[in-house]
Amino acid sequence: ISLPNLVASMEVEESYIMIKPDGVQRGLVGEIIYRFEKKGFKLKGLKLFQCPKDLAEEHYKDLSSKPFFPKLISYITSGPVVCMAWEGVGVVASARKLIGATNPLQAEPGTIRGDLAVQTGRNVVHGSDSPENGKREIALWFKDEELTEWTPVQTPWVIE
Ligand code: GDP
Ligand code: MG
């Protein structure tokens, strides 16, 4: 992605972050949630969930013509995932930076994929690639009643 996309916008946005089945099986749930929580973003929704095939296909529909698509769908449905909705100023681009490059061998040390994974097909976490997709994906994975509006006490200490 080009540099302008990496500059965190000042807009309050939402990002759909998902710990993929390998992250859950490897016991990385706490480690991954910790990184978003300590950054200062707000958690609005959280669940452990066995993803059905049709939802995985809808979520990744833009990749449906790729040769790896069948493998991707079987990976994402191979065990439970942890679905999260995170809100914050510039959260979409910031989460992508925290997550690191798609190929974990190219992801910088200090990023989730750079620290915790080695292969694109086992890259432990998903993050929305635009504010529009953040909204779309949160609506796809969560029911309205699974999302909570609240104000963390830390908010004025995170956002001036
Ligand atoms: P992301 O936004 O960084 O997750 O990357 P993409 O949107 O390009 O791809 C979505 C997901 O598809 C990636 O996170 C990988 O899990 C998977 N994926 C992408 N490219 C490949 C590939 O070449 N091989 C395999 N096996 N999986 C891939
Ligand atoms: Mg993507």
Instruction: Please report the atom of ligand 1 found closest to the CA of residue 103.
Output: 3
Instruction: Please report the atom of ligand 1 found closest to the CA of residue 126.
Output: 4
pLDDT at residue 1 in the model: 46
Binding residues for ATP: 20, 68, 96, 102, 113, 123
Q: Is 59 a catalytic residue?
A: no
Is the ipTM higher than 0.90? The answer is yes
Instruction: Choose one of 62, 72, 112, 129 to mutate for the ligand 1 pocket test, by most ligand atoms within 8 angstroms of C-beta.
Output: 72
pLDDT at residue 10 in the model: 76
Q: Per the structure block, which two tokens stand in for 135?
A: 């909204």
Spacing, Cα 133 to ligand 2 middle (Å): 9
pLDDT at residue 9 in the model: 55
Task: Encode pLDDT of 55-88 as tens digits.
Answer: 999 999 999 999 999 999 999 999 999 999 999 9
Please tell me if the CB atom of residue 70 comes closer than 6 angstroms to any atom of ligand 1. Answer: no
Task: Encode pLDDT of 91-131 as tens digits.
Answer: 999 999 999 999 999 999 999 999 999 999 999 999 999 99
Please tell me if the CB atom of residue 129 comes closer than 6 angstroms to any atom of ligand 1. Answer: yes
Instruction: Choose one of 102, 105, 113 to mutate for the ligand 1 pocket test, by most ligand atoms within 8 angstroms of C-beta.
Output: 102
Spacing, Cα 138 to ligand 1 middle (Å): 19
Once rounded to an integer, what is the mean pLDDT over residues 43-64? 98
Task: Encode pLDDT of 11-21 as tens digits.
Answer: 899 999 999 99
Ligand nearest to the CA of 117: 1
5 pLDDT above the threshold of 60: no
Tell me the three-class secondary structure of the chain, residue by residue: CCHHHHCCCCCEEEEEEEECHHHHHCCCHHHHHHHHHHHCCEEEEEEEECCCHHHHHHHCHHHCCCCCHHHHHHHHCCCCEEEEEEEEECHHHHHHHHHCCCCCCCCCCCCHHHHHCCECCECCEEECCCHHHHHHHHHHHCCHHHCCCCCCCCHHHHCC
